[in-house]
Structures are given as C-alpha cells and as structure tokens.
Amino acid sequence: MIAPADMTLDELRLALAERLPTHAVFDGWSKAALTAAADELEVPADRAALCFPGGAIDMIDAWFATIDAAMIEQLQSLDLGTMKIRERIRTALLVRLDEATRQPDALRRAITQLARPGHAARAVKLAWRAADSMWRAIGDTSVDIAWYSKRTTLAALYTSVLTAWMDDDSEDFADTRAFLDRRIDDVMRFEKFKARLKPEPDRHFSPVRFLGRLRYRLQAG
C-alpha cells in the first residue's frame, strides 16, 4: 500500500474522498472537514487542499465517484444476467441508494450544497454520471438517441428518489423504496421506445425544478 505522503494528487484525492463524509457530518463539506481527513492520513492540509481546488463541490464530486465505484463493484458480483431489465434497474438504483445513504447526514449536507444557486450544472453532471454508471453496470449497450434517453430518464428517476429520501423518516427508508417501485415505469417506457424521447411534461428531468424543490424544503425546514 502506498503511504499517503507518497501518493499522487489523484491517489490522495481518492483516499481523502473515502474519509471526508465522516467529518462532513459534523463540519459540513468544509475546510475543517478536509483538514480532519488530512490529519487522519497524516498529510499537510495545504497538500490535501490541492486535491479539491473547487472546494466543497469538488469534495462532494469525489465522494460521489467513490459511491459509483462501490456500486459498480457490488453489481458486478450479482448474477444480473438472470434478471429482467426492470429488476436490473431497480437493483442498480437500490444498491446506489444504499451506498449513498451509508452516511445520511453527509448526503443531506451534500444535497444542500448542490441545491445552492450556481451549482445546478454540477448537480446535473453528477446525476448524469450516476445514471451512466448504473446503466453500464447492468450491461447497457444502447447507442445514439437511446443511449441519451435512458440516461436522462434514469437521472430524473434517481434525483426524484433522492428528493423522496430527503423527506423520508420511515424505517429503513421503506417509503423511498415504495416510491422507487412506483416510478420505475418511467425508465421502462424508454426501454420499450428506444428511438424516441417522449417524457410526460411533469416527469421530464428539470434540474431547475429539482433544485428549486430542494431549496424550498431546506428553507421550510
């Protein structure tokens, strides 16, 4: 194993990303959280800061990348070939949700950051990356418009599930899981009609509407 002091910035970024959520629970996605994570690895805080030039949003990006990687690893260990496409999608969503919610308070703070004005583009990018990772992990080989439509739809579904999760106080997030089951048909519509994108107006992925709902709920809370 490479000693933290000898790591490249990319390697150090990954090592820090795996530790940041624990500290973000208490300090938010802040310099204090990064310093605490750097102390764990016994590396200077100023060197750790070089891994995240964009500050909090870069820390969240790096953490989400570790979630995607953990999700892919889990899905690769499953016998997805025996599942119907609907069950593959559901499994991928549940695995990613389980990975993301291992640190629920850190995730809530991350979503709060992403809901801030000016972060909409980054939020969309991260949702798209998560959707792409899920589709690839379950063996998607689509091309052209189907490739884009599937990811657009799954990104919409995943962000709507996160919205439901933010308000969910049920045991083991049972309400969120039930919500997911009700919305999974949105993705299946694009599996049946790969050549065209025909989302219902109220279900089309709107980053502005999604982030607006989060800001309203955070302010109301």
The domain that holds 155 is classified in CATH as 1.10.357
Q: In which domain, by residue range, is 12 found?
A: 1-53
pTM, 2 dp: 0.83
110 and 42 inside one domain:
no
Q: Residue 82, Cα to own-chain centre: how many angstroms?
A: 26
103 and 38 inside one domain:
no
For residues 64 and 129, is the Cβ–Cβ distance under 8 A? yes
pLDDT at res. 43: 95
60 and 21 inside one domain:
no
- pLDDT digits 0-9 by tens, 52-109: 999 999 999 999 999 999 999 999 999 999 999 889 999 999 999 999 999 999 999 9
**Residue 82, SS3?**
helix
For residues 194 and 149, is the Cβ–Cβ distance under 8 A? yes
- pLDDT digits 0-9 by tens, 121-172: 999 999 999 999 999 999 998 888 888 988 998 999 999 999 999 999 998 8
